[in-house]
Structure 1
Amino acid sequence: MAKMLYSVSMSADGFIAGPGGDMQWLTDYLGPNPLIDNLIGDVGAILAGNRTFGGDDPYRETPQEGEAFGGGWSGPQFVLTHKAPARPVPGVTFVHSIEEAVAKSLAAAGDKYVNVLGANVAHGLIEAKALDEVLTIITPVMLGDGVRLFDHPGGTQVKLERTKTSAVEHAVNIWYQVKY
């Protein structure tokens, strides 16, 4: 049965995107990572937020621009948005609610992961108690400002149980199970 996995690269000070959604900071940290290389084959579908889908790309101005995992993965993609674009995007289904996003992406993933991209989508999945796991790839840089990994004014505690850790020269990978 498919599981919802929020996988995200994060600066050492807790930001997943720089100011204005800038993702160019990540370019220097996209080197080989066996955990990610192995994960790609276990992803059956992608669920992204609209800002993530249409936002900055660390592969900008390269042949991998706009490709999931820099071109290492292909398959069904779902984008959670209030307004779908006027023209269809090949391979992308636009969905309008967390419930619809969960149902369609899990069905498409089969027995693999739905890889979740975007802080707002992950937050919505946590509120719906639909997020199963979190993979945080911590990079050796501090951005000082930007989009936080998880931000909930007034506070919300989400308990996580660490299930795996590994490290490469440019990242520390921490895999958690979400505990509701």
Structure 2
Amino acid sequence: MATLLYSATASLDGFIAGPGGDMSWLTPHLGTPNPTADRLVSRVTAVLVGARTFGGDDPNRGTDREGAFGGQWSGPVVVLTHRPAAEAPEGVTFAGDLHRAVDLAREAAGDGVVDVLGADVARQLVEARLLDEVLLFFAPVLLGDGVRVLDVPGGTQVLLDRLPGETEHWYRVRY
């Protein structure tokens, strides 16, 4: 069964997007060789993404690196949304229910990795106890405001176990 992995690049103060979902802060930090990111991209066989992330800001927009993982990846995408487009782009499936979206993404991924993009989808997966792993990359910047890595009003504790042999910020979720 496919692994559900939430991966994101965050500022040192814990934001994955600036105010209003702005991703332009990330542009100067892209393009640096990263063996962990390269390994991740080679293992991703499907993407599960929230509607805001799917339709949002791409720090590579207008360049030859536009798209998932800087244009290095293509494959099946499942978008969790209550307002699907009338017609889905090629390779994209819309699902209005979290469990249905997870089932579709895992089916599309086979034995690979479903990369989860979007903080709200990650939060829902944690609350449903479905998320398997978390991989965070950190950029040397402080944003001060924006979309947090994980925002759960009232707080929740999510225990993580470091994955042996992986980067220091790749963890297995412990329930």
TM-score tier, shorter chain, comes to: over 0.9
One-letter code aligned to 2:44: V
- The Cα shift of 1:23 comes to 0.4
User: Which has the larger displacement, 35-44 or 156-165?
Assistant: 156-165
Task: Indicate the residue corresponding to 1:178 in structure 2.
Answer: 173
| Counterparts of 1:112 and 1:165, CA distance in 2 | 17
- For the residues of structure 2 that align with 1:114 and 1:63, how far apart are their CA atoms? 24
For the residue of structure 2 that corresponds to 1:136, the secondary structure is: strand
Once residues 13 and 128 of structure 1 are traced to their aligned partners in structure 2, the CA distance between those partners, rounded to angstroms, is: 26
Relative to its length, the structure with more strand (as a share) is 1
- The alpha carbon displacement at 1:64 in A equals 2.4
Q: Counterpart of 1:126 in 2: which secondary structure?
A: helix
SS of the counterpart of 1:90? coil
How many pairs does the alignment contain? 173
| CA deviation profile, 1:137-169 (whole Å, cap 9, x unmatched) | 011100011000111111111111122554xxx
- 1:75 alignment partner, SS class: coil
The aligned residue for residue 170 of structure 1 is none
Match of 2:41 in 1: 40
Over the aligned positions, Cα root-mean-square deviation in angstroms equals 1.1
Query: Is 2:21 the counterpart of 1:21?
Result: yes
Cα deviation digits, residues 30-72 of structure 1 (max 9, x gap): 121110111111001000000000000110221222x111111
Q: 3-state DSSP class of the match of 1:125?
A: helix
Partner SS state of residue 41, structure 1: helix
- Is 1:52 aligned with 2:47? no
- Structure 1 segments, 4+ long, off by >6 Å, are none
Whole-angstrom CA distance in 1 between matches of 2:81 and 2:73: 22
Q: Provide structure 1 residue ranges, at least 5 long, that are not aligned to the other structure.
A: 167-172
Could you tell me which runs of 5 or more consecutive residues in structure 2 were left unpaired when the two chains were aligned.
none
For 1:88 and 1:160, the matched residues in 2 are separated by 35
Structure 1 CA distance for aligned equivalents of residues 131 and 68 of structure 2: 20
Alpha-carbon distance between aligned partners in 1 of 2:112 and 2:63, rounded to the nearest angstrom = 29
Superposed, 1:143-162 pairs within 5 Å as 143-162=143-162
- How far the C-alpha of 1:87 sits from its partner, in A, is 2.6
Q: Call closer, same or farther: CA 1:165–1:110 in 2, change over 3 Å.
A: closer
Q: Which moved more, 1:155-164 or 1:98-107?
A: 155-164
SS for the counterpart of 2:157 is coil
Q: Which residue number in structure 2 is paired with residue 80 of structure 1?
A: 80
Normalising by structure 2, we get a TM-score of 0.95
Secondary structure at 2:116 match in 1: strand
Q: Distance in 2 between matches of 1:21 and 1:11?
A: 13
* TM-score normalised per structure 1: 0.93
Greater CA drift, 157-166 or 13-22: 157-166
Counterpart residue identity of residue 98, structure 2? I
Separation in 2, partners of 1:91, 1:64? 19
